């Protein structure tokens, strides 16, 4: 393994460790009345859509499209990293963030709609 290849091991290992320790190191949030928390709560509502139906405007297949944009950006960013393409990396990361941010915004919208109609969902906000 060349030195160039070994240099990627440190950030890769650090990323994996961060994924493991992040939930352990940080406490429960003081409030869920913020965009990021509502995005997570919206994802929980969306995953529970078989038990508690969601409005039709939230069932359109846009979620798959947005996740497709994010995944395409991820693939492009990985390719750009392997081939040292700065512009490819910028475009890939931008696409990944665009798709994910738009998806999370839709999850906030879903949560805001559903908390008014469901007591359990309303109780998640503090």
**Structure confidence by residue, pLDDT tens digits, 42-93:** 999 999 999 999 998 888 878 789 989 999 999 999 999 888 899 999 999 9
Query: How high is the mean pLDDT of the chain?
Result: 90
Identify the pLDDT of residue 44: 95
pLDDT at 111 over 60: yes
Structural domain of 107: 31-123
pLDDT at 98 over 80: yes
Q: Tell whether 16 is covered by a domain.
A: no
- 108: Cα separation from own chain's centroid: 12
Residue pair 96/77 in contact (Cβ under 8 Å)? The answer is yes
Residue 121 C-beta-side C-alpha neighbours within 13 Å: 26
Identify the pLDDT of residue 2: 59
Q: Tell whether 6 is covered by a domain.
A: no
Number of domains in the chain: 1
Q: Tell whether 91 is covered by a domain.
A: yes
Q: Is 118 helix (H, G, I), strand (E, B) or coil?
A: coil
Q: Tell whether 109 is covered by a domain.
A: yes
Q: Tell whether 4 is covered by a domain.
A: no
Identify the pLDDT of residue 50: 92
Q: Tell whether 118 is covered by a domain.
A: yes
């Amino acid at each position: 393994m060349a030195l160039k290849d070994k240099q990627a091991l440190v950030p890769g290992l650090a990323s994996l460790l961060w994924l493991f320790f992040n939930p352990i190191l940080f406490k429960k949030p003081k409030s869920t009345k913020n965009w990021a928390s509502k995005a997570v709560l919206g994802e929980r509502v969306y995953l529970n859509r078989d038990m508690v139906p969601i409005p039709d405007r939230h069932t359109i297949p846009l979620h798959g499209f947005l996740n497709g944009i994010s995944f395409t950006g991820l693939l492009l960013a990985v390719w750009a990293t392997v081939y040292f393409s700065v512009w490819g990396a910028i475009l890939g990361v931008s696409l990944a963030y665009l798709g994910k941010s738009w998806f999370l915004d839709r999850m906030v919208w879903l949560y805001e709609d559903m908390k008014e109609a469901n007591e359990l969902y309303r109780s998640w906000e503090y």
